[in-house]
Amino acid sequence: MTLPYVINLLYQFADNVAFLLLAALGLMIILGVLDVINLAHGELIMLGAYITTLSYNEMHLPLPVCVLLSVIGVALFGLVLERTVIRRFYRDKLGALVATWGISLILSQGVLILFGPSLVSVPLPQWTVGYGGYAFGGYRLMLFGVAVLVVWLAWWIFYRTRLGVWTRATMQNPEMAQALGISTSRIYMLTFAAGSALAGLTGALYAPTTTIVPLMGTTFVDVAFITVVVGGGTNPIVGALTSSAFLALISTPLSSVLGTFIGRIGLLIASLVIIRFLPRGFSGYLRDAGRRRMGRGLVS
């Protein structure tokens, strides 16, 4: 148990947290505000990766510009999606789920038909940092930094801006919010676009680290869904943070010792156990616990 070994574990932990956070946050925000599960989330991530890869390879734009294009592109796509399809399912959560699943099929198969089975990846920037016999990827450390930044930004918007207040009001009581003059329709639209933008960002940022294939979204939603289930829809930010930290805590030692695959099985089992005892996820449980501590009962 040398220091470099611990640092290596911490690095892997941070890497896992970043992956879970970036993969799940967009989905959780959409769930929290619109009460809708977007099963096309993985394909939005894939679109982000494809936009970045194509603009890098075909148009030779610098990587940051490609990432920006991805974010904007997928956000716009999400906007269109929300206006045309999603808003017909506001009251019908399972219906939205199935409809977005249809969209995800159209996207993944469509990309397969248009662009073939794979693309040449964007080369990973080689910013290796060596320490104590271990090599740490600087790019992935940067991704951790981006994840932290993104969560902080989301928190800031939710709790420090008027838009955030309106959004939280819409989350808690849409009818009341409307009566107070908030355009809930616009909030939903913006939130869905923001969630999509996050998906696009995730895909763009992870594009250099993985193979670019039409079904690449599944490697993200695998764990994103578990993160969402464990986090719960009550509070997207608290849920995303606690969930990704907890799950990374489980998967890091497991995958480091027994391989990535066992890590994922461990996550599924962990999520089943959590859901059995905390059916509203961490964010739901924390909200209820907070109420109890204040000497109040639970809202029925």
Partner 1 sequence: MHRRGGGIDAVLLETDDLTRSFGGIRAVDHLAMTIARGELRCLIGPNGAGKSTFFSLLTGLHKPDAGRVLFKGEDITYLPPFLRVRRGLSLKFQNVRIYRELTVRQHLLVAGTSNRDVEGRNGQVGWALHTLGLDRELERLARELPHSSQQWLEICLALATGPDLLLLDEPTAGMTPEETAVTAEFVVRLNSQGMTVIVVEHDMAFVRHIARQITVMHYGRVFAEGTLAEIESNQDVRRIYLGEQ
Partner 2 sequence: MRVRSGDVWRMVNGPQELGTSPAFWTAAAVCAAGLLFYPLVGSTFALSSLASFLLFAPMGLGLGLLWGYNGVLSFGQAAFFGTAGYVYGLIAGNLVSLPAGTLLAAAGGIAAAIVLAGAFGYFVFYGQVSGWIIPLLTLVLSLILETFMAQTAGYQWRIGRVLFGGYNGMTNIPSLTIGPITLGGASTPFYYLAVALAMLTYLGLRLLVNSRYGHIVVAILDDPERTRMLGHHVDAIQVQVFMLAAALAGVSGVLYVSWGNYMSPSNIGLLAATLPVIWTAVGGRRSLLAVFLSVIALRWLADSLAVWGGAYAFLVLGGLLLATMLFFPTGIVVALAHAGRRWTSRARMRATRTSVESKEH
Q: Which residues bind partner 1 (CB under 8 A)?
A: 291, 295-300
Give the one entry of partner 1, partner 2, none that residue 296 binds, where binding means its C-beta sits below a cut-off of 5 to 8 angstroms depending on kind. partner 1
C-beta closer to partner 2: residue 135 or 272: 272
Among 5, 65, 93, 152, binds partner 2 (CB under 8 A): 93
For residue 240, count other CB atoms closer than 10 A to its CB: 32
**Residue 94 binding partner 2, by CB under 8 A:** yes
**Residue 276 binding partner 2, by CB under 8 A:** yes
Among 167, 184, 202, 271, binds partner 2 (CB under 8 A): 271
Select from 168-176, 192-200, 243-251, 259-267 the region that touches partner 2 (CB under 8 A).
259-267
> Shortest Cβ distance from residue 97 to partner 1 (Å)?
22
**Residue 161 binding partner 2, by CB under 8 A:** no
**Residue 106 binding partner 2, by CB under 8 A:** yes
Total of chain residues touching partner 2, rule CB under 8 A: 45
Q: At what angle do helices 281-293 and 217-231 cross, to 10 degrees?
A: 20
CB 200 within 8 A of CB 79: no
Give the one entry of partner 1, partner 2, none that residue 186 binds, where binding means its C-beta sits below a cut-off of 5 to 8 angstroms depending on kind. none
Query: Could you identify the residue written with the tokens 């904007």?
Result: 72
> Shortest Cβ distance from residue 67 to partner 2 (Å)?
27
50-58: which pairs have CB atoms within 8 A and are 24 or more residues apart? 50/111, 50/115, 50/119, 50/203, 50/212, 51/200, 51/203, 51/204, 52/122, 52/203, 52/204, 52/207, 53/119, 53/120, 53/121, 53/122, 53/207, 53/212, 54/115, 54/119, 56/122, 57/119, 57/120, 57/122
C-beta closer to partner 2: residue 9 or 268: 268
| CA atoms within 13 A of residue 222's CA, in its CB half-sphere | 14
111, 113, 141 from 108: Cα distances, Å? 5, 9, 29
CB 151 within 8 A of CB 22: no
Region of 116 please: left (phi>0), alpha (psi -120 to 50) or beta. left
**Residue 1 binding partner 2, by CB under 8 A:** no
x-or-dash string of contact with partner 2, 50-89, rule CB under 8 A: -----------------------------------x--xx
C-beta closer to partner 2: residue 134 or 261: 261
Give the one entry of partner 2, partner 1, none that residue 298 binds, where binding means its C-beta sits below a cut-off of 5 to 8 angstroms depending on kind. partner 1
Among 45, 189, 205, 228, binds partner 2 (CB under 8 A): 228
- In the complex, the residues that contact partner 2 under the rule CB under 8 A are 31, 37, 39, 85, 88-89, 92-95, 97-99, 101-106, 108-110, 112-113, 215, 218, 221-222, 225-226, 228-229, 233, 261, 264-265, 268, 271-273, 275-277, 279-280
